[in-house]
Structure 1
């Protein structure tokens, strides 16, 4: 009987210890590797990069508003043998940033019935067009270019926001996978030990050292662990499939995670999160200032402010002045300096118009102001939501750290109870039922510890996500 007690004690001791499995020949996958794969190959991450390219293309389009424009007008009229006119007039227009346009061209008019206001023969001009009220401070070309630059920066921010959310979903799936794998390892070790125990008890029964009820007791314990093993193996495989949904290869094809790939043995090492920001004040400041969602609101407000300035121009009168210096021949500067600008060889025009009620202008300007107000309120609400998330995850993170410490003590206590039960059994004061009961409690404590640790690391990543640091 004493030899039986000693051997059972060894088996139970193996059960409550953390199962060790050699991973020398096994491929492992840690959290950092998973995140890197997602950043490089996941379609959503690639699409976010495409949005940046589209924003860059929009910026190029907006810059086109300031491209020099070369045009030409050619016309001729001949009727019943009369050459009314031949007109050739090429011109180049150069837009500038402040709404002023510089233009230059040449004219060549010939014919028998030209308009008296047209200069016959060859002439050239060099001039400017200047907005004196509306479009002087802001016009559509400048507004579109400024907004395009902002939207280009906004695209970078939105890419970070997409990656932040995508990586959080990935880490949620990853830590479930890690948890189920380690749970399956523990139960597998218990199955192996209880299989050996059953074989040992059966031999003892044949030798007359044990009662038949002990065989049933041991078999029931084994079957319970076998059921758990099947269940955790199923959960591990399904968790691998969920994680595979985030894994793609460099050819742009979905990648199914092989069952031979497992988490690393040091998955619960605190060094894995040593570079994480875990200070509450810093996290709150980061969330308020650099979180992609907050940055998006800032860029949107800047774009809306430009739109408001553009809409304000609709409240101003349209007052445009155009001046040309004229010269005979094709040299626009041939007579430059000979006369004052309004003395000789010039042409100018002035155009003025204003809606009497300014209804459209006032409406557009009011609408722009309301958009800014609406966006500012949205920003305030989002900042509060982010602050609440950061505080919640921070509290949960610290609570889990304390729970893990308590659960470690709890697990150690159950180990002591198992050992004490072994001593009682060796003295003939206990039974297999009581040893199995202590064994089950030790297993439950270990399983709870793994559950807390995987949740702890998941919350560590969630804390970084809430501050926008997972990109």
Structure 2
């Protein structure tokens, strides 16, 4: 069933004969769905999703239960049972609640016997108030997830560009092979014509040699172009895969869609230079990846800044005895446990060094971002200039091909009337063949350039 689905995508058009056509759109769907590089890029996104889930784990409520006891020489020193629930919150505040049950005959006077319950809160008043490792890890994981999507687009842009270059090369080789095949058939007919003319006494024997020599030349050309087409088919097959990482070979009966003259394929592409350059800042995946990386470094800088602050942690717990009727009165009047912890390195050497390092990383990546942006703009301008130039070259080459074909037909007409020679016909025919092949090279180059222009702007996917 899977192979049938792949074949349905593969063959996007069937004529009444057994001709099956592979169109660019269907081809790219196969590449996107099954190519290992595309699937690896998807795995990268799933890994970043897992990292977000892992970072969120730091905010999960934690249930603890501590049990301890000591008995020596028949004397029960203590029996301690203390379940506790701790709930971390986004702003570094931690809420906790629990029960302590302490029994025994050898206890610390500061400890309370019997069952005591409590609910309390821990608040950082300076360091870790605005940012801590848990929040930094989650924010960075989310940014890395967005970065993974940008990197996936980078990978797919390059993959689609390489795949389409293979397609246009395959199409060019196919059409060159068609032209050489047509010339080969014409050379065969000419040999037969000359032989009949020789038998009738209308042509000298040397014309047979001239026609046969041209036929051998066309046969060699056809063999060479057949080899080019077969190799191009193999190169295209490298991008065709099935599920379960199974490579797929392109069937011999499948041919490319002949769409050289159909520029409607470009209708979905932005071919305005100013418009493309405007979209680069907002949509180019490589620039987005740098921006997400810089945003992640800014989170790291905020975290490192906390090392410059004193650590002042406040802890308050409201206590209740087993048979207590509840709490009333001021917070610090009765039934509480309260504490403040203060800590400050006197020189802050480690904190200052880490903060300075974080700022330098941001500066470094900002420079790389500016450099990458300039490189992208230069590449876009270069491809756009190439695109404009190729359109003009194709127009000129199309006229040249038309002229060479007309000259060849004119020589054939003169030859049939005895006013020309096979040598001139062969010369005209070779020139027409070379001009036609040159035209196909330019058209393939044009289509490759359009896709390269879109890929360089990050708009191919």
**Fold similarity call, TM over 0.5:** yes
**C-alpha RMSD over aligned residues:** 1.5
> Aligned pair in 2 of structure 1 residues 330, 128: CA closer, same or farther (>3 Å)?
farther
Q: TM-score, normalised by structure 2?
A: 0.94
**CA deviation after TM superposition for structure 1 residue 265, in Å:** 3.0
The 3-state SS of whatever aligns with 2:341 is strand
Q: Which runs of 5+ in 2 are unaligned?
A: 1-14
Instruction: Specify which of 413, 437, 448 is matched with residue 447 of structure 1.
Output: 437
Bigger relative contact order (CA 8 A; separation at least 6): 1
1:108-148: CA deviations, max 9, x gaps? 11111111111111111111001111101100011111111
Give the distance between the partners of 1:201 and 1:419, measured in 2 at CA.
16
Say yes or no: does 1:157 pair with 2:150: yes
Match of 2:120 among 99, 102, 127: 127
SS in 2 for 1:104: strand
Following superposition, the deviation at residue 197 of structure 1 comes to: 1.1
Q: Structure 1 residue 419: deviation in Å?
A: 3.6
- Following superposition, which runs of at least 4 residues in structure 1 exceed 6 angstroms of deviation? none
Within 5 A, what are the aligned runs for 1:68-467? 68-329=61-322, 334-336=325-327, 338-426=328-416, 428-467=418-457
**1:250 to partner: Cα distance:** 3.1
For residues 330 and 184 of structure 1, the distance between their equivalents in structure 2, rounded to whole angstroms, comes to: 98
Q: State the SS of the aligned residue for 2:95.
A: strand
Q: How far off is 1:288 after superposition?
A: 2.4
Q: How many residues align?
A: 447
Mean Cα deviation higher: 164-173 or 354-363: 354-363
With 278-287 and 418-427 compared, the bigger mean Cα shift is at 418-427
Q: Distance in 2 between matches of 1:56 and 1:330?
A: 49
- CA offset at residue 318 of structure 1? 1.3
Give the conservation status (yes or no) of the 8 Å contact 1:124–1:330.
Answer: no
**For 1:447 and 1:152, how far apart are their aligned partners in 2?**
48
Q: What does the per-residue CA deviation read over 1:416-467, in whole Å, with 9 as the maximum and x for residues that have no partner? A: 3224334543554321111111121112111111111111111111111111
Q: Distance in 1 between matches of 2:446 and 2:261?
A: 9
User: What is the rounded CA distance, in whole Å, between the counterparts of 1:330 and 1:284 in structure 2?
Assistant: 74
Whether the aligned pair in 2 keeps the contact of 1:30 and 1:267 (CA below 8 Å) is no
Deviation at 1:317, TM superposition (A): 1.2
Q: Does 1:66 align with 2:59?
A: yes
Does 349-358 or 413-422 show the bigger shift?
413-422
Could you say if the C-alpha distance between residues 253 and 268 of structure 1 is closer, same or farther in structure 2, counting changes exceeding 3 Å? Answer: farther
- Answering whether residue 41 of structure 2 is matched by residue 48 of structure 1, we say yes
- 1:135-170 superposed Cα distances (whole Å, 9 cap, x missing partner): 011000111111111111111111111111111110
Q: How far apart are the structure 1 equivalents of 2:411 and 2:177?
A: 26
Equivalent position of 2:10 in the other structure: none
CA contact (8 A) 1:191 1:222 kept: yes
Contact map agreement 2:48 2:144 (CA 8 A) in 1: yes
Query: Residues of 2 paired with 1:436 and 1:156: CA distance?
Result: 58
Superposed displacement of residue 24, structure 1: 4.2
> C-alpha displacement at 1:267, in angstroms?
4.1
Q: CA contact under 8 A between 1:287 and 1:466: conserved in structure 2?
A: no
- Determine the structure 2 residue equivalent to 1:10: none
* Secondary structure of residue in 2 paired with 1:355: coil
